[in-house]
Chain A
C-alpha cells in the first residue's frame, strides 16, 4: 500500500521536474543576460540566476500553467535581485523621478546638434563603455533598455514582466535612451571622437 503511494508521489515529482525542464530551463540564457546587466558582475550574475532557478523550481507548483513562464521567471529574478543583491549596496538604487525629470529637461532636443547623432561617431566606443553607461542608469530605466534593446521583447511583454502599464514602459524607454545618449556623447567627447568645437557648439 505504502509503496503504491510512494510510487504515485515519485511519479508526480518526476512529472513536475520534467515540466520544469521543458518550460523554464530554455529561458536560462535570456535570464542570464538580464542578471549580468542588472548586477554588472559575472559572479553575482551566476549566483542570481542560480537562486532564481532554485526558487522557481521550489514554487513550480504555484506557476499557473499556460501563462507566460518567462515573465514569471523574470519577476522572480527581479524580486531576488531587489531583496538580495541590491541590499549589498549601502544605498539602495531608488529612482528619484524628480532627478530624472531634471536630467531629462537638460537634454532637450533643442540643445542637441544633429551632427552628434551620426552613428559613425559612436562606432569606436567599446562594448565595455556602453555596458558601463547602461549599468549607470537607474534600475527601472536599465531594466526596460535591457529587455527591449538587448532581449528584443515587445512593450506588452515588458509590461507583463515588470508588472506595469505599457505607457510606463514607453515613457521609461524614451527617457532611458536619452540618458544613455548623453552618457555616450560624453564618452565620445572624452575620447576625442567629437572635437571640442563641436562639443561647445
Chain B
C-alpha cells in the first residue's frame, strides 16, 4: 500500500468507505503502518492546537486599504476645500486673490520639512534604500551588525570609506549631543556603500546610510519610489516615525541619506534636515 494514503486517512480525505476500511484494517495488522499513522495524527494535532491563526495587524490592514483606495476619493477630499471656498458668493475676486497670494507665500517660505504624504507604504523590496536602512538599524540594535571601524573621528571614518572602495564623497557630520561610534562598508552587486553610527548619552543610536544619487538614477542598484525621489529632489526632507523608530530621508550634496534612530523625531529633524 502507498503510505501516503495513511496521511489522506488522517486528513479525512478518503471518500471511498471501502478503501477507508481497507486502510484501517492494514493499520491494525502492520505495526509500522500504525506508527506511521500515529505520527501523522500527532503532528497534525500539535500544529493545529499550538499554532493559532493570527490576524493581520491593524496598521498593515489600514496601509493596504489606503494604498488601494481609489485616487478619486482622495482628490474629492482635496477639492472640497478649494471649490467650496470659491463657490461661496461671499468671496469676491479680491478675496480670492488674497487667498491665492497667501498660498503662494506659504509654498515659497515653507521650511525644509513639510507635512508629506506617507511615502513609507511605497517602499518595498530588498534593494530599497528605506527598507535596507530600517533593517540595518534593527541589526545594529540587536547586535547582529557591528562597526568594522570604531572611531569618533569624522576624517578617519571618511578615509576608511575611501580606503574600502566607496567611490563617492561621503558626509560625516559631528553633533554636540551624539558621538560618532564607527562605520561599516557594505557591498552590493560589486559596489561599496557607506554606513556610520552615532550614539547618545541617553541610549540613542543614530544610523546613517548614504549613497551617491547616481546609484538610484542610473545604476539602479538601490531603489526608492519615484514619488519619494521627486520629493527629495525638490529639497524636502521626509520623516516617518513608528514603534519608537524615526526614519528620515534627505538629499545632502549629491548624496541621498537615510537616517534611522530611536532618538526623538524633533532631534533627528533638527540635526539632519539640511545637515550639509
Contact = CB atoms under 8 A, between A and B. Distances in A.
Interaction A to B: yes
Contacts of B68: 17, 20, 53-54, 57
Interface residues of A, number: 56
A110 to B, nearest CB: 5
Interface string B32-76: 111110111011111110110111110011011101111010000
A154 B4 CA distance: 15
A77 interface: no
A150 interface: yes
Contacts of A177: 7, 39-40, 43-44
15 contacts: A10-B72, A14-B70, A49-B64, A50-B63, A50-B64, A53-B68, A54-B64, A112-B39, A119-B42, A155-B8, A167-B4, A173-B7, A174-B3, A177-B7, A181-B39
B137 to A, nearest CB: 12
Nearest to A180: B43
A177 B9 CA distance: 14
B46 A119 contact: yes
Contacts of B11: 148, 155, 173
Given A17-B68, A50-B63, A170 B13 contact: yes
Interface in B93-152: 121, 124-126, 131, 134-135, 138
Interface residues of B, number: 49
B60 A49 contact: yes
A108 to B, nearest CB: 7
Given A53-B68, A130-B46, A177-B39, 6 more contacts: A85-B126, A119-B45, A127-B50, A131-B51, A173-B7, A181-B42
A171 interface: yes
A30 B6 CA distance: 27
A130 B42 CA distance: 13
A181 B60 CA distance: 34
Nearest to A51: B124
Interface in B154-213: none
